[in-house]
């Protein structure tokens, strides 16, 4: 097993942990962290597999940089929304409910 | 403006920034003017694609495909570009009247970024660029759901649920892209298609599954639809209209593009799965729409149902292109009709002051134009001639019969009847007399542009059925 494959496998495991976190956790901050873990896993796969005969390939590194920018933006938006929710409800947990919550 | 491709992306970015700097009043005018130019560019692009019968390319900044980013437009992309600007323009006129000045300060910049992301998505030619545009569209859409002055707790919760759904969907897509790049060393759709056809190890099948599943979450295909009704039902009316009419179509466009292009050799055997989920979405979404108590909830569940039709086409795709034409017609007619319906419902809610189906009693007398808009949009959703929805369902039934799929014909017809049930529920209520206690309530008149924007969209959704040949011709030229 080459180093690249080890990185890629670790990445897939991290990604799966992140997905489980986003879906299963209640606390919004934990879910946002889990989303970041998910992203890191995908980036690790991208960089780990993107090696040609031991030489790093610059293209996936550029992609990961772009991906990090996107992840930072998404995290910032999620944090802003979570803070606003905290200010309104006093908690960092999404209220349980279906389509009926939200008063339009 | 010799080349419309880059300007379709740059223009909305420019007016979005302008609207941010100049404030909502001047921003609205800027947005409407910008979108009108984009509409003209989209039509010019479609004419060019139709005349040359091949895809147009544009290397961004003069850097070609291996190092730089290539933009490409074929018939399918041109159709969706026209639809996006065509729906956005009346909706912006509507939004200008709908929002009080303070509440709209974030609407115009976010709407501009949304349109820029959508146009870039339709024009992208490589998988990674598509990922970035997907995220741009998703983040702008989540921001729009939370827009509107004092956003309530429920609205914020809906925005957060939507954010997590869209992030997980895009995450799955990104992991798939990473695996594909690791296997083939390229993300360009054009160069991947022959590579995957020649040799596809199991990991590519896995990657394709991840990407399509992620996109289905973003398109809200049953059973991943859970985020859609609260997000679309909780947002302000112009935002709901943008999201339901356009944003879900962006990820569907990408599914269709991957399905017809690079993943064609991998997915043929699994084509029954999206169709099955689509059939479930039609029945379950329509049922929930019939049972809905709030108007916007009803329209949002109707979106879940109508998206189901789009997924019925996958087992029917073939050389005769009937199913592709049906999908294109459904995307266009549902986009126009759903925007009209949300716009009409927004007027009804403003006038009656309540978001409830039973509260519309008596509006037939006071708001004939709005109710007519709702009814015409309903005609398209039910699939009555001569509407675009009729043509879409007709083509779909034609394609299903050509392959002897009677089960699908039954689902399509049942979906039309169920749509009639929830549309007539609202119309019947509107013609009833209001309870005498409520008749004296002071109700403000809606601004005329609100009513007429909704009506224009609804009329377009019916009339597009008469322009079916142009759409079919445009799709005939699309690469597959």
A38 interaction partners in chain B (CB closer than 8 Å) = 167-168, 171
A60 interaction partners in chain B (CB closer than 8 Å) = 178, 181
Place of tokens 């309540």: B354
Which of B155, B160, B181 has the CB atom closest to A94's CB atom?
B160
- Tell if the CB–CB gap between B182 and A85 is shorter than 8 Å: no
CB neighbour burial string for B191-210, b if at least 16 within 10 angstroms, e if fewer: ebbebbeeebeeebbebbbb
B233 interaction partners in chain A (CB closer than 8 Å) = 99, 102, 104
Vertex B311 angle, CA B305 and B317, to 5°: 150
Cα pseudo-dihedral B202, B207, B209, B213, rounded to 10:
170
- Tell if the CB–CB gap between B153 and A8 is shorter than 8 Å: no
Instruction: Assess contact for B45 and B5: CB atoms under 8 A.
Output: yes
| Of B353, B328, B225, residue with least CA distance to B283 | B225
Of the given ranges (A17-26, A70-79, B357-366), which has the lowest mean pLDDT?
B357-366
CB neighbour burial string for B211-237, b if at least 16 within 10 angstroms, e if fewer: bbbbbbbbbbbbebbbbbbbbbbbbbb
pLDDT of residue A11: 94
Q: CB-based contacts of B233: which residues, under 8 Å, 6+ apart?
A: A99, A102, A104, B158, B240, B294, B296, B297, B299, B300
- Tell if the CB–CB gap between B175 and A41 is shorter than 8 Å: yes
For testing the chain A interface, which of B129, B153, B218 should be mutated: the one with the most A CBs within 10 Å?
Answer: B153
Instruction: Assess contact for B285 and B262: CB atoms under 8 A.
Output: no
- Tell if the CB–CB gap between A102 and B135 is shorter than 8 Å: no
- The sign of the torsion formed by the CA atoms of B163, B168, B170, B171 equals positive
Query: Nearest 5°: phi and psi at B211?
Result: -65, -45
Element of type H or E holding B56: strand B56-59
Query: Nearest 5°: phi and psi at B103?
Result: -70, -20
What residues form DSSP beta bridges with B199?
none
| CA-atom Rg of chain B in angstroms | 21
**What gap in Å lies between CA B135 and CA B390, rounded to an integer?**
33
A73 interaction partners in chain B (CB closer than 8 Å) = 135, 139
**What gap in Å lies between CA B135 and CA B416, rounded to an integer?**
34
Element of type H or E holding B188: none
A50 interaction partners in chain B (CB closer than 8 Å) = 181-182, 185
Instruction: Assess contact for A61 and A52: CB atoms under 8 A.
Output: no
Element of type H or E holding B59: strand B56-59
Element of type H or E holding B72: strand B70-73
Does ipTM come in above 0.85? Answer: yes
pLDDT of residue A53: 67
B172 interaction partners in chain A (CB closer than 8 Å) = 19
What residues form DSSP beta bridges with B59?
B70
Confidence grade of residue A103 (pLDDT, cut at 50, 70, 90): very low
- Tell if the CB–CB gap between B157 and A85 is shorter than 8 Å: yes
Decide: pTM greater than 0.95.
Answer: no
Instruction: Assess contact for B163 and B205: CB atoms under 8 A.
Output: no
pLDDT of residue B234: 85
Q: Where are the domains of chain B?
A: 1-269, 271-480
| Of B373, B458, B383, residue with least CA distance to B417 | B383
| Of B116, B127, B7, B11, residue with least CA distance to B56 | B7
pLDDT of residue B376: 95
B213 Cα to chain A: minimum distance (Å): 13
Q: Would you call B301 an interface residue with chain A, using a CB distance cutoff of 8 Å? A: yes
**What gap in Å lies between CA A26 and CA A94, rounded to an integer?**
7
Which of A39, A46, A97 has the CB atom closest to B171's CB atom?
A39
For testing the chain A interface, which of B147, B155, B182, B237 should be mutated: the one with the most A CBs within 10 Å?
Answer: B182
For B:279-298, CB contacts with A below 8 A are 288, 292-294, 296-297
Q: Would you call B479 an interface residue with chain A, using a CB distance cutoff of 8 Å? A: no
Per-residue pLDDT of chain B (480 residues; tens, 9 = 90+): 468 899 999 999 999 999 999 988 899 999 999 999 999 999 999 999 888 877 888 888 777 766 778 899 989 999 999 999 999 999 999 999 888 756 678 899 999 999 999 999 999 989 999 999 999 999 999 999 988 655 677 788 889 999 999 999 999 999 999 999 989 988 899 889 999 999 889 999 999 999 999 999 999 998 999 899 989 988 889 999 999 999 999 999 999 999 998 999 888 888 899 999 999 999 999 999 999 999 999 999 999 999 999 999 999 988 778 899 999 999 999 999 999 999 999 999 888 888 888 888 888 888 889 999 999 999 999 999 889 999 999 999 999 999 888 999 999 999 999 999 999 999 998 888 877 655 545 566 777 888 999 999 999 999 998 888 888 888 874 433
Confidence grade of residue A101 (pLDDT, cut at 50, 70, 90): very low
CB neighbour burial string for A9-31, b if at least 16 within 10 angstroms, e if fewer: eebbebbeebbebbeeeeebeeb
DSSP class of B201? -
What residues form DSSP beta bridges with B188?
B126
pLDDT of residue B148: 64
pLDDT of residue B438: 57
Topology (CATH level 3) of domain A3-89? Helix Hairpins (1.10.287)
- Tell if the CB–CB gap between B355 and A104 is shorter than 8 Å: yes
Crossing angle between the packed helical segments B4-22 and B107-123, to the nearest 10 degrees: 170
**What gap in Å lies between CA B20 and CA B197, rounded to an integer?**
47
What residues form DSSP beta bridges with A93?
A27
| Of A97, A34, A74, residue with least CA distance to B153 | A97
DSSP class of B357? G
Residue A40 in tokens: 């890191």
Q: What is the largest CA-CA distance in chain B?
A: 73
- Whether residue A102 is predicted with pLDDT greater than 60 in this model: the reply is no
- For residue B124, give Cα distances in angstroms to B72, B77, B217, B261: 6, 9, 21, 14
- Whether residue A100 is predicted with pLDDT greater than 70 in this model: the reply is no
Which of B131, B139, B153 has the CB atom closest to A77's CB atom?
B139
Q: CB-based contacts of B256: which residues, under 8 Å, 6+ apart?
A: B76, B324, B327
| Of B178, B258, B179, B252, residue with least CA distance to B217 | B252
- Chain B's closest residue to A20, CA to CA, is B168
Confidence grade of residue A99 (pLDDT, cut at 50, 70, 90): very low
What are the helix (H) ranges across B353-405?
363-366, 368-382, 388-402
What residues form DSSP beta bridges with B319?
none
């Amino acid at each position: 097993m080459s180093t690249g494959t080890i990185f890629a496998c670790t990445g897939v495991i991290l990604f799966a942990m992140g997905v489980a976190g986003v879906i299963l956790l209640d606390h919004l901050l934990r879910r946002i962290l889990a989303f970041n873990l998910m992203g890191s896993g995908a980036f690790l796969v991208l960089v780990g597999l993107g090696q040609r005969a031991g030489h790093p390939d610059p293209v996936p590194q550029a992609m990961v940089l772009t991906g990090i920018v996107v992840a930072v933006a998404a995290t910032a938006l999620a944090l802003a929304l979570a803070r606003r929710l905290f200010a309104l409800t006093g908690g960092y947990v999404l209220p349980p409910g279906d389509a009926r919550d939200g008063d339009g | 403006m010799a080349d419309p491709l880059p300007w379709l992306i740059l223009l909305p970015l420019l007016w979005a920034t302008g609207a941010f700097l100049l404030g909502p009043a001047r921003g609205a005018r800027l947005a409407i003017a910008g979108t009108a130019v984009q509409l003209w560019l989209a039509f010019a692009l479609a004419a060019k694609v139709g005349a040359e019968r091949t895809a147009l390319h544009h290397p961004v900044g003069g850097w070609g495909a291996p190092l730089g980013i290539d933009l490409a437009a074929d018939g399918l992309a041109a159709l969706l570009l026209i639809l996006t600007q065509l729906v956005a323009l009346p909706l912006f006129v509507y939004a200008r009247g709908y929002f009080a000045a303070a509440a709209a300060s974030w609407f115009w910049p976010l709407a501009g970024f949304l349109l820029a992301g959508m146009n870039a998505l339709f024009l992208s030619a490589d998988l990674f660029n598509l990922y970035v545009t997907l995220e741009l569209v998703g983040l702008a859409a989540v921001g729009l759901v939370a827009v509107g002055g004092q956003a309530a707790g429920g609205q914020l919760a809906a925005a957060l649920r939507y954010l997590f759904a869209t992030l997980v969907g895009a995450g799955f897509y990104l992991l798939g892209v990473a695996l594909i790049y690791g296997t083939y060393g390229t993300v360009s759709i054009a160069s991947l298609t022959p590579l995957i056809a020649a040799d596809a190890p199991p990991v590519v099948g896995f990657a394709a599954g991840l990407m399509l599943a992620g996109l289905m979450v973003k398109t809200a295909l049953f059973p991943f639809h859970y985020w859609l009704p609260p997000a679309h039902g909780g947002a302000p009316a112009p935002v709901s209209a943008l999201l339901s009419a356009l944003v879900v179509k962006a990820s569907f466009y990408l599914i269709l593009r991957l399905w017809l292009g690079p993943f064609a050799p991998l997915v043929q055997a699994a084509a029954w799965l999206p169709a099955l989920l689509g059939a479930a979405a039609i029945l379950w979404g329509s049922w929930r729409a019939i049972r809905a108590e709030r108007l916007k909830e009803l329209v949002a569940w109707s979106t879940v149902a109508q998206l189901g039709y789009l997924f019925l086409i996958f087992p029917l795709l073939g050389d005769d292109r009937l199913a592709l034409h049906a999908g294109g017609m459904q995307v266009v007619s549902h986009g126009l009709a759903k925007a009209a319906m949300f716009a009409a419902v927004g007027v009804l809610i403003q006038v009656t002051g309540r978001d409830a189906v039973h509260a519309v009693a008596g509006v037939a007398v006071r708001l004939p134009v709005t109710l007519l808009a709702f009814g015409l949009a309903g005609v398209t959703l039910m699939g009555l001639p001569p509407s675009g929805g009729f043509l879409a369902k007709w083509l779909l039934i034609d394609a299903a019969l050509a392959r002897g799929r009677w089960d699908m014909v039954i689902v399509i017809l049942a979906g039309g009847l169920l749509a009639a049930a929830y549309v007539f529920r609202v119309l019947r209520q509107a013609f009833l007399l209001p309870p005498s206690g409520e008749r004296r309530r002071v109700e403000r008149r809606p601004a005329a542009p609100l009513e007429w924007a909704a009506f224009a969209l609804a009329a377009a959704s019916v009339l597009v059925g008469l322009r079916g040949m142009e759409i079919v011709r445009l799709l005939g030229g699309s690469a597959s």
